[in-house]
C-alpha cells in the first residue's frame, strides 16, 4: 500500500493549503497536467513550444532548445529579448457534467508572474498584476461541457514596468530610475510587484520571466470550501497555552449558511464540533475562529535547532452544511500533517543599563542566541527550485548550527515546502516583505495591490512555527535617510510615501492578520524606538538599537578589532568568487582571468 501513501503525499504538496478535500463535494483538477503551449505574441521571433505549469518562459525555451543555460557566460544579456516579449500559455481543458453541475466553479491561480489577462473560450476571465497574490476567478458561466480553451496572455514585465514608471514620472520620480550599469540588468523593478532580483542584482543576472510559476487548479464545489486556515500559540499562564484557530472560507454563491465545523489536534485535543451561522463579508469570504486552551504538561514544545526537538502535531478540520432535510452534509475537510508546533516567540527590546536597548529573541520564554544567515532565492527562475534542493540547503544550514534564516526582501515569499522544512529542522524565519533597496509608488492603486499581497502571504504562512518575525522591507529606510537615490531633493514627499506604504498599509495589514509575532518596519532599523523618530531614524544603522547590516571592504577583515558589537546583525558578509569548478561549468578558458592584463613578470 506504499504507492497509495506516496500518491497522497504528492497530492498533499500540490494543493495550496496542503489539504485533502472530500471528492463527493469539492473537485479539484490539477491543470498542470494539461498539454500546454507557449507562444510568443510580440517581437520579431515567431516561437511556439511546449509549455509547463508550474513553470516559466526561460525554462520552457531552454527545454525546447531555443536557448541555452541562462547562467552560461553572457547569456543573460543575450537573452534580454525574452523579457521584452509578450507570451501566451494556452491549453485545452475537457470537463464533464459532474463538474458543470456544481454550484461554484473557480479557476484558482497560486502564482502568476506577473501581468496577464486570463481568457476562457475567448471571454476574459480576469487580470493579474502581482506575482505574490493568489487569484481566484469564478468561471461557471463561461465553462461548457466538453472542450474548453484556456489562455494566459502575459505582458512583458519589462515593458509594463517602464510604462508604470513613465506614468508615475508625470507627477514625480520614484527612484532609483535604474540599476547600476555593472548589473547588466533592467530598470524599474520597483514599479512592478514581481521578484525584484529578477531584474538583476549585484549577485545575480537579469531574467524577468513570465509564466504560471505556482500550481493552477480548477475547483468545483457546492456551498462552501476552506480558503485559509491559520493558528498561533500564546502563553496564557505558567500552566496553560492557547491555540488561536482562525478559518477563512470561500463561500461560492452562498450568502450565509448554517454550518457544522469539526476540529482536532491529534493526540492533544479530541475532535470538537460546533454549529455556527456563517455570513459572507464584503471580501466575499466567511470567517470563524476559536481558542483552544491546552495544559503545557500535555504537549511537547517546539524548539529551534540546537535547543531541543521540533515536535509537530497533526491538525484536522472539516465543515458540513445543513441540507434541506436537516441533515449535515460534509462539504470540505483539510488535514495538516505535522503542522502545529507549540512555541512562543518574543522580541525583547528593553532599556539597558548602558546606553541603548536590548534586541534579542526569547523562544518559549528562554533567551536564544540567533545564528543567522540570509536566504536569497534558490534560483533566479523560481520554477527551477525543487523541494529536494530546498531541503538540502536548509539541512546544510542546520548542520552549520544555524537556527534562523532571514528571507530577504528582494526575492519571493518562499514556497510552502520551504516553511515546512524549516518547521521540521528548527530553523526560525525572519520574514521580510518583498520590498528592497528602492523607493516604491504609494498611490491608491499600488497600495490596494500591496494590501492584497500582504493579506494573502500572512494568511498563507503564519501558521508555521518557524515564522518568528515580520519585517516591512530591506534597507529602504536606510536608503531614504542616506540619500542613496537623491531623495533629499524631495525628502518630505518620499517620507510621506514611505509612511503611507509601510506604516499605514504593510504594518496595518500584518497586525490585522497576525499579532502573535513581532513586526519591524525595516531592516536595518532602530527597532521599537523607530516610531519615536518619526519612522525615519537619523541613523538606521545605530548599533545601540535594533538590527544592523554590516559590509566592510575597506578594512583588514582578519583583524577582530574592526568589528563592532551591535545589538543584532541581520545581514553581513563578503561578495566572493565561487569555486573554480562552478565557474568552469558556466564559462570558457578565455574567461579565467581576474585582470584584463598582467604585469610583466607576473605568473
- Cell digits for 292? 483552544
Distant-in-sequence, close-in-space partners of 108: CB < 8 Å, separation ≥ 6: 16, 134, 135, 136, 216, 217, 218, 219
Q: Peptide bond before 328: cis, by omega within 30 degrees of 0? A: no
From the list 151, 164, 513, 571, the catalytic residue is 571
Catalytic residue check, 533: no
Q: How far is CA 63 from CA 57, 66, 70, 411, in A?
A: 10, 8, 12, 24
One DSSP character per residue, 499-521 reads IIIIIIIIIHHHHHH--SS-EES
Q: Is 287 one of the catalytic residues?
A: no
Residue listed under C-alpha cell 523579457: 83
**Do 520 and 547 contact (CB within 8 A), yes or no?**
yes
Distance CA 332, CA 432 (A): 33
Q: Is 213 helix (H, G, I), strand (E, B) or coil?
A: coil
How far the first Cα of the chain sits from its last, in Å, is 64
Instruction: Please tell me which residue in 475, 477, 509, 513 is annotated as part of the active site.
Output: 475
3-class state of residue 473 by DSSP:
coil
**Phi–psi pair at 188, nearest 5 degrees:** 70, 35
| Coil, strand or helix at 10 | helix
| Nearest of 135, 91, 105, 132 to residue 117 by alpha carbon | 135
- Fill in the DSSP letter of residue 357: B
CB atoms closer than 10 angstroms to residue 167 = 12
Active site residues: 475, 571
Amino acid at each position: 500500500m506504499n504507492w497509495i501513501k506516496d500518491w497522497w503525499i504528492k497530492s498533499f504538496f500540490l494543493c495550496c493549503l496542503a489539504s485533502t478535500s472530500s471528492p463527493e463535494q469539492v473537485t479539484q483538477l490539477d491543470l498542470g497536467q494539461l498539454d500546454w503551449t507557449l507562444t510568443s505574441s510580440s517581437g520579431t521571433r515567431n516561437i511556439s513550444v511546449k509549455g509547463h505549469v508550474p513553470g516559466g518562459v526561460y525554462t520552457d525555451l531552454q527545454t525546447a532548445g531555443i536557448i541555452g543555460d541562462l547562467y552560461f557566460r553572457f547569456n543573460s544579456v543575450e537573452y534580454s529579448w525574452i523579457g521584452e516579449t509578450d507570451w501566451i500559455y494556452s491549453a485545452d481543458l475537457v470537463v464533464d457534467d459532474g463538474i458543470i453541475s456544481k454550484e461554484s466553479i473557480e479557476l484558482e491561480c497560486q502564482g502568476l508572474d506577473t501581468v496577464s489577462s486570463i481568457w476562457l473560450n475567448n471571454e476574459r476571465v480576469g487580470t493579474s498584476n502581482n506575482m505574490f497574490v493568489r487569484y481566484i476567478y469564478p468561471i461557471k458561466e463561461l465553462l461548457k461541457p466538453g472542450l474548453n480553451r484556456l489562455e494566459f496572455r502575459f505582458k512583458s514585465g519589462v515593458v509594463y514596468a517602464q510604462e508604470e514608471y513613465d506614468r508615475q514620472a508625470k507627477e514625480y520620480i520614484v527612484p532609483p530610475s535604474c540599476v547600476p550599469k555593472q548589473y547588466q540588468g533592467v530598470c524599474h523593478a520597483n514599479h512592478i510587484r514581481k521578484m525584484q532580483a529578477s531584474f538583476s542584482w549585484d549577485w545575480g543576472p537579469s531574467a524577468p520571466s513570465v509564466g504560471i510559476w505556482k500550481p493552477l487548479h480548477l475547483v468545483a464545489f457546492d456551498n462552501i470550501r476552506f480558503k485559509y486556515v491559520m493558528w498561533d500559540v500564546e502563553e496564557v499562564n505558567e500552566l496553560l497555552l492557547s491555540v488561536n484557530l482562525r478559518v477563512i472560507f470561500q463561500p461560492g454563491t452562498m450568502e450565509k449558511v448554517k454550518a457544522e465545523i469539526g476540529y482536532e489536534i491529534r493526540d492533544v485535543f479530541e475532535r470538537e464540533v460546533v454549529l455556527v451561522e456563517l455570513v459572507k463579508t464584503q471580501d466575499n469570504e466567511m470567517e470563524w475562529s476559536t481558542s483552544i486552551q491546552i495544559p503545557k504538561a500535555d504537549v511537547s514544545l517546539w524548539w529551534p535547532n540546537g535547543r531541543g526537538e521540533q515536535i509537530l502535531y497533526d491538525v484536522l478540520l472539516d465543515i458540513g452544511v445543513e441540507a434541506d432535510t436537516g441533515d449535515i452534509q460534509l462539504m470540505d475537510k483539510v488535514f495538516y500533517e505535522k503542522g502545529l508546533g507549540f512555541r512562543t516567540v518574543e522580541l525583547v527590546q528593553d532599556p539597558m543599563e548602558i546606553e541603548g536597548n536590548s534586541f534579542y529573541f526569547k523562544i518559549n520564554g528562554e533567551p536564544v542566541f540567533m545564528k543567522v544567515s540570509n536566504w536569497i532565492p534558490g534560483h533566479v527562475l523560481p520554477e527551477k527550485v525543487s523541494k529536494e534542493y530546498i531541503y538540502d540547503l536548509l539541512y546544510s544550514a542546520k548542520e552549520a548550527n544555524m537556527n534562523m534564516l532571514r528571507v530577504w526582501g528582494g526575492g519571493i515569499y518562499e514556497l510552502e515546502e520551504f516553511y515546512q522544512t524549516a518547521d521540521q529542522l528548527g530553523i526560525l524565519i525572519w520574514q521580510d516583505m518583498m520590498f528592497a533597496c528602492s523607493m516604491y509608488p504609494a498611490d491608491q492603486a499600488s497600495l490596494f495591490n500591496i494590501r492584497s499581497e500582504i493579506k494573502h502571504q500572512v494568511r498563507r504562512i503564519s501558521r508555521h512555527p518557524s515564522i518568528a518575525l515580520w519585517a516591512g522591507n530591506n534597507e529602504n529606510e536606510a536608503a531614504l535617510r542616506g540619500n542613496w537615490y537623491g531623495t533629499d531633493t524631495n525628502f518630505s514627499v518620499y517620507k510621506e510615501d514611505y509612511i503611507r506604504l509601510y506604516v499605514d498599509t504593510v504594518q496595518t495589514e500584518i497586525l490585522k492578520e497576525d499579532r502573535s509575532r513581532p513586526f519591524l518596519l525595516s531592516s536595518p532599523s532602530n527597532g521599537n524606538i523607530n516610531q519615536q523618530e518619526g519612522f525615519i531614524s537619523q541613523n538606521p544603522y545605530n548599533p545601540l538599537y535594533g538590527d544592523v547590516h554590516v559590509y566592510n571592504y575597506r578594512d583588514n577583515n582578519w583583524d577582530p578589532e574592526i568589528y563592532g558589537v551591535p545589538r543584532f546583525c541581520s545581514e553581513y558578509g563578503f561578495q566572493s568568487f565561487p569555486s573554480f569548478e562552478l565557474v568552469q561549468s558556466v564559462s570558457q578558458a578565455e574567461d579565467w582571468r581576474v585582470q584584463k592584463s598582467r604585469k610583466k613578470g607576473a605568473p
